[in-house]
Chain A
Amino acid sequence: MNRLTNSLDFQAQALTLRAERQRLIASNIANADTPGYVARDMDFASALREATGTQAAGSTMTGATATARGHIPIGTGSTSELGLKYAAPSQTNLDSNTVDMDRERASFVDNSVKYEATLRFINTDVRTMLDAMKSPSQG
């Protein structure tokens, strides 16, 4: 069963990260006029590698455990540890806002298309599995 759902698990992780990134870009667009706001974005490739890598090689990773109440939990592949980066301003601005609307809109559309692509991969995976479960007589 693991081989069947492997691809599905991976796509599910990718979809979650795409949703996270979509929300991040929405935050940037919402704050396009806020003085002092610094735009953020995620390095999607490394975030996905981290999210899926820790899951596959869970036994080989040495996870840190909190031994006292005051310890700050170290997330392993959790959504709070996405490695967010700050966007460098492409044009300096008097109110030190670094949201570049052209870039944000482009990222937003790019992310929407890739979100849909991931959804289609999932749908295709599901259909492939359902087809495999059917008996030959069912056509």
Chain B
Amino acid sequence: MSMMKIFDISGSAVSSQSQRLNVVASNLANVDTVAGPDGKAYKAREVTFQTVLMNTPDGAPGAGVRVAQVTENQAPGRKVHDPANPSADADGYVTYSNVNAVDEMVNMISASRSYQNNIEVMNTAKTLLMKTLQMGQG
């Protein structure tokens, strides 16, 4: 039953995309934060996908996906002159996170579309498998 592997393949993609969505959510949540948990400004995070081979026992190819790493964007944070802010530095500048809200929204849409695509693949595979199970009956 090589169709069964589709659930592994699409399932790995769905979980990777949901991890990407998770990262987007934390970036968007921190779009206006001044300091992260380490006291410095929050750095936008980004996931990198990697193909993981999911061959069937007889060697037929299949390719799932996994999150290889989560990297931090090292671009300098947004600086705003606001001497009254308690987080301002000696020159009166406050460093905000380097999250680009537009980038994150685009990322979010892309992740959710890929998620939907893979769910649909699994639904189709399920329908076909159910019909295969009824082979010879109707």
Contact = CB atoms under 8 A, between A and B. Distances in A.
A131 interface: no
Contacts, number: 105
B48 interface: yes
Interface in A70-85: 78-80, 82, 84
A78 B58 contact: yes
Contact of A27 (B48, B50, B64, B127): B64
Interface residues of A, number: 36
Interface in A1-40: 15-16, 19-20, 22-37, 40
Contact of A105 (B12, B51, B56, B117): B117
B49 interface: yes
B24 to A, nearest CB: 13
B39 interface: no
Interface string B1-13: 1110110011011
Nearest to A8: B136
B131 A116 contact: yes
Given A19-B2, A24-B61, A37-B51, A30 B10 contact: yes
Nearest to B14: A30
A30 B122 CA distance: 11
A31 B16 CA distance: 10
Contacts of B25: none
Interface stretch (A50-58, A60-68, A119-127): A119-127
Contacts of A19: 1-3
A26 B135 contact: no
A87 interface: no
B110 interface: yes
B29 interface: no
A16 B1 CA distance: 9
A23 B3 contact: yes
Contacts of A108: 121, 124
B95 to A, nearest CB: 30
Interface of A: 15-16, 19-20, 22-37, 40, 78-80, 82, 84, 101, 105, 108, 112, 115-116, 119, 122-123, 126
